[in-house]
Amino acid sequence: MSNSTDRKVSIGAYIALAAAIIFFSGLLQGKGALSVFDFNTLNGSFGTMANAVTESADGINVTTTTMRGAGGFGARDGFMFALTLVPTVMFAMGMIAVFEHYGALEAARKLLTPLLRPLASIPGSTGMALIASLQSTDAGSAMTRQLADDGELTKRETDIFAMFQFTAGATIVNAFSSGAVLYTLTNSAGESVVPTSIAFAVGIMFIFKFVGANLFKLYLNLTEGKAGKKAVETAIEGEKA
């Protein structure tokens, strides 16, 4: 990702940004043929591996386990877990390079900076990483690291954005997978006992992601003092320039 360019934001750039948002947001997941344009669908998942094979009277029973095996611990298991993240990170960075080529980053910076700067003191160039982090913590963190390495984010902005992602990480995926079962709870009469909807819960979590980012910004203001304030002013002036 280039640090700064003079490229004009064209209609194509806005189309690329819209495509990136749809691709990373999970909107098309489980939508039949359209799901081929969804990040998580294309990213896929590992299957199971045979851990042990035992014979019984009915035939062969295969005991399966995860890609990492069963009962692992220590540095070896940590390495295998980290290795499983590589395909997700590589795929995410590859797709971001494609979207950036068509101007999506410039469009995000122009459209989202007026929104994200007052809400969380981060530039609009974080827009795609923000959307990706709602579906995949791995993709979101990799894209944030790339933004920081390319000078799109200062250290302060990186810290604040990291707190935004850390709060309710992968909000959409976790809410609609692990959390969805909670919204099916009923009483003996078959009536729902959940006083709210899953959409409302996701909305609350999304709002509190901004709350977490601003609480951390307040912490930085208290600990960094005038130096932190000056850094923010310099960043804002650079965006205006």
Reduced to 3 states, what is the DSSP secondary structure of residue 53? strand
Q: How confident is the model at residue 182 (pLDDT cuts 50, 70, 90)?
A: confident
Mean pLDDT of 188-193: 70
For 25, 99, 203, the CA distances from 172, given in Å and listed in that order, are: 8, 22, 10
DSSP summary character for residue 62: E
Torsions phi, psi of 62, nearest 5?
A: -105, 120
CB atoms within 10 A of CB 12: 12
How many Å apart are CA 197 and CA 24, to the nearest integer?
23
pLDDT above 60 (res 103): yes
Average pLDDT over residues 175-198: 71
Query: What is the chain's mean pLDDT, rounded?
Result: 81
CB atoms within 10 A of CB 116: 23
- Entry pTM: 0.71
Alpha-carbon span 28 to 40, nearest angstrom: 10
Given a contact cutoff of 8 angstroms between Cβ atoms, the answer to whether 136 and 39 are in contact is yes
User: Residue 72: is its pLDDT beyond 80?
Assistant: no
Residue 3 is predicted with a pLDDT of: 43
* Mean pLDDT for the stretch of residues 39-66: 70
> What's the distance, Cα to Cα, between the start and end of the chain in Å?
19
Dist CA 21 CA 111 (whole Å): 13
Measured from the Cβ of residue 18, the count of other Cβ atoms closer than 10 Å reads: 12
Predicted confidence (pLDDT) per residue in 112-157, tens digit = 999 999 999 999 999 989 988 988 888 888 889 989 998 889 999 9
- Residue 83's pLDDT is 83
CA pair distance 25, 7, nearest whole angstrom: 26
Which pLDDT band, with edges at 50, 70 and 90, does 60 fall under?
A: low
From the number of C-beta atoms within 10 Å of its C-beta (0-12, 13-18, 19+), residue 189 rates as exposed
pLDDT exceeds cutoff 60 at 217: yes
144 and 166 Cβ atoms separated by less than 8 Å: no
